[in-house]
A and B are shown apart, each in its own frame.
Chain A
Amino acid sequence: MAEPSYADASDAALVVAVGRYHEGALAEAYRRHAGAVHALARRLLADATLAEEVVQEVFLRLWHAPERFDPDRGSLRSYLLAQTHGRAIDLIRAESSRRRREERDHQRTADAGYDLEHEVLDLAVADRVGAALAVLADGERRAIELAYLGGYTYREVAVMLGEPEGTIKSRIRAGLRKLRGELDDLVAGGVR
Chain B
Amino acid sequence: MTSPRDDAALDELLGAFALDAVDAQEAEEIERYLQRSPRARAEVAAHREVAALLVATGSDAPSGVWERISGSLDGGPVAPEAPRLGATVRAIGDAPSARRSVSLRLAVAVTGAAAALVAVFGIQVARQGDELDAQHEELAALDLRLAERDVAILAAQARQDPTNRVTVLSSEDEDLVVTTVMGDDGQGFLLAENLPELAVGRSYQLWGIVDDRTVSLGLLQEPGVVAFHVDGPMDGYAITEEVAGGVATSEQVPTVVGLTEAR
Residues A74 and B48 in contact, CB atoms below 8 Å apart: yes
B20 with A151: CB separation less than 8 A: yes
The winner among A69, A74, A152 for most chain B CB atoms within 10 A is: A74
A176 touches B148 (CB 8 A): no
- A77 CB to closest chain B CB (Å) equals 5
Any chain B CB within 8 A of the CB of A45? no
B80 contacts chain A at the CB level, 8 A cutoff? yes
The reply to whether the CB of B149 lies closer than 8 angstroms to some CB of chain A is yes
Is B78 an interface residue when CB atoms closer than 8 A count as contact?
Answer: yes
Q: A19-B87, A27-B66, A56-B65 are in contact. Are A120 and B59 (CB under 8 A)?
A: no
Q: How many A-B residue pairs have CB under 8 A?
A: 232
**Is the C-beta of B15 less than 8 angstroms from some C-beta in chain A?**
yes
Question: With A144-B19, A151-B20 as given contacts, are A13 and B156 in contact (CB-CB < 8 Å)?
Answer: yes
Task: Chain B residues near A73: list those with CB within 8 A.
Answer: 41, 45
Name which of A33-41, A94-102, A103-111 contacts chain B: A33-41
Q: Are B47 and A180 in contact (CB under 8 A)?
A: yes
Q: How far is the CA of A180 from the CA of B43 in the complex (A)?
A: 10
Q: Is B248 an interface residue (CB 8 A)?
A: no
Interface readout for B93-109 with A: 1 if CB under 8 Å, 0 if not? Answer: 01010000000000000
In the bound complex, residues from chain B placing their C-beta under 8 Å from that of A23 are: 70, 73
Q: Residues of A with Cβ closer than 8 Å to B?
A: 1, 3-5, 9-10, 12-13, 15-23, 26-27, 30, 34-40, 43, 48, 52, 55-56, 59-60, 63-64, 66-67, 69-75, 77-79, 81-82, 85-86, 89, 116, 119-123, 125, 129, 144, 147-149, 151-155, 157, 166, 168-170, 172-177, 179-180, 183, 186-187, 191
**Sample (12) of A-B pairs whose CB atoms are under 8 Å apart:** A4-B153, A12-B157, A20-B88, A38-B62, A43-B55, A78-B48, A119-B55, A147-B21, A169-B13, A176-B18, A176-B47, A180-B49
Closest 9 CB pairs of A and B: A19-B88, A173-B15, A34-B61, A121-B58, A147-B21, A122-B57, A39-B56, A78-B52, A172-B15
